[in-house]
């Protein structure tokens, strides 16, 4: 049976058709952000394995990251013998498509790996190190210690932890004055901690933990964290805190509130 069109592979019409289809496929791919989602670029750093998408114009500032890491492990007095996997996404939508999580970043609790949309990281990687080497405490302390080490290493010659460019203590003082600081009882709850705006709870937790480290030393904070669990009841938190600090957490909280109000 004869067909109406007898196209040869070498015919100009055939070539033009193939070209049009290819052009159409390429243009569709350009309009589809998911097509470039794979973290196909791999850079092997001294302390991290970095991954990001080939279409990610910002990429990762590996120079900043390696310098921050050196400062961080010295400040935490830990040795990290495993490289940390730094998975970078273009934005929240990209991160969500790849991980299923609707967030700017998170740390895997069972491996040396974190995910973020930022080209530098000074939060999720702190979680990674603390969780892998010391422990996973309740949210007030888990977020608190991450924020307490959240600084732009190259912005100051001295380390000053900030939240969105404002010093933690100043922010916590303002929230206190405005009556916005959640009660300690609420902040101690594994789940009630999340009932409040993280732009309040995170810097408050960071300021509190930073106060405890600066005034009572890193060793006591590590001791507390290593004895605790994320889902500890309030009673368990009180017992573990007392064992590490020799005072009630209410006493420490009140001391901190006086400190930031000055």
Which residues of the chain form contacts with Zn ion (CB under 5 A)? Answer: 143, 146
DSSP class per residue in 82-142: SPEEEEE-SSHHHHHHHHS--SSEEE-SSSSEEEESSSS-SSHHHHHHHHHHT----HHHH
Give the β-pairing of 113-116 and 105-107.
antiparallel
- Least distance from Zn ion to the Cβ atom of residue 212, Å: 18
| Closer residue to Zn ion, CB minimum distance, 53 or 139 | 139
Per DSSP, what are the bridge partners of residue 166? Answer: 163
* Residue with the CB atom nearest Zn ion in the bound state: 146
| Closer residue to Zn ion, CB minimum distance, 53 or 225 | 225
Structure tokens belonging to residue 234: 């309030």
181-217 in b/e form (b: 16+ CB < 10 A) is bbebeebbbbeebeebeeebbbbbbbbbbbbbbeebe
- Least distance from Zn ion to the Cβ atom of residue 18, Å: 51
* Burial of 23 per CB tally in 10 Å (0-12, 13-18, 19+): exposed
- Least distance from Zn ion to the Cβ atom of residue 113, Å: 15
- Least distance from Zn ion to the Cβ atom of residue 119, Å: 18
* Burial of 106 per CB tally in 10 Å (0-12, 13-18, 19+): middle
- Least distance from Zn ion to the Cβ atom of residue 216, Å: 22
| Closer residue to Zn ion, CB minimum distance, 106 or 216 | 106
| Closer residue to Zn ion, CB minimum distance, 143 or 162 | 143
| Closer residue to Zn ion, CB minimum distance, 53 or 137 | 137
Scan for tokens 């058709």, then name that residue: 17
- Least distance from Zn ion to the Cβ atom of residue 114, Å: 10
CA separation for the pair 138, 235 (Å, rounded): 12
| Closer residue to Zn ion, CB minimum distance, 55 or 104 | 104
């Amino acid at each position: 049976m004869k067909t109406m069109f007898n196209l040869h592979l070498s015919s100009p019409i055939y070539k033009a058709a193939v070209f049009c289809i290819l052009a159409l496929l390429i243009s569709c791919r350009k309009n589809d952000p998911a097509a470039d989602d794979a973290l196909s670029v791999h850079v092997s750093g001294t302390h991290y394995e970095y991954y990001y998408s080939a279409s990610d114009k910002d990429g990762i500032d590996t120079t900043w990251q390696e310098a921050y890491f050196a400062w961080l492990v010295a400040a935490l007095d830990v040795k990290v013998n495993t490289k940390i996997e730094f998975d970078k996404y273009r934005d929240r939508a990209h991160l969500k498509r790849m991980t299923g999580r609707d967030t700017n970043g998170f740390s895997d609790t069972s491996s040396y790996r974190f995910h973020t949309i930022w080209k530098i990281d000074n939060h999720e990687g702190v979680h990674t190190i603390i969780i892998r080497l010391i422990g996973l405490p309740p949210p007030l302390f888990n977020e608190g210690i991450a924020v307490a080490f959240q600084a732009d290493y190259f912005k100051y010659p001295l380390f000053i932890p900030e939240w969105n460019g404002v010093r933690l203590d100043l922010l916590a003082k303002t929230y206190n004055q405005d009556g916005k600081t959640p009660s300690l009882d609420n902040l101690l709850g594994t789940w009630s901690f999340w009932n409040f705006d993280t732009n309040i709870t995170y810097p408050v937790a960071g300021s509190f933990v930073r106060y405890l480290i600066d005034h009572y030393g890193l060793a006591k904070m590590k001791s507390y964290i290593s004895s605790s669990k994320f889902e500890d009841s309030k009673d368990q938190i009180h017992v573990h805190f007392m064992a590490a600090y020799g005072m009630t957490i209410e006493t420490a909280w009140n001391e901190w509130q006086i400190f930031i109000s000055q």
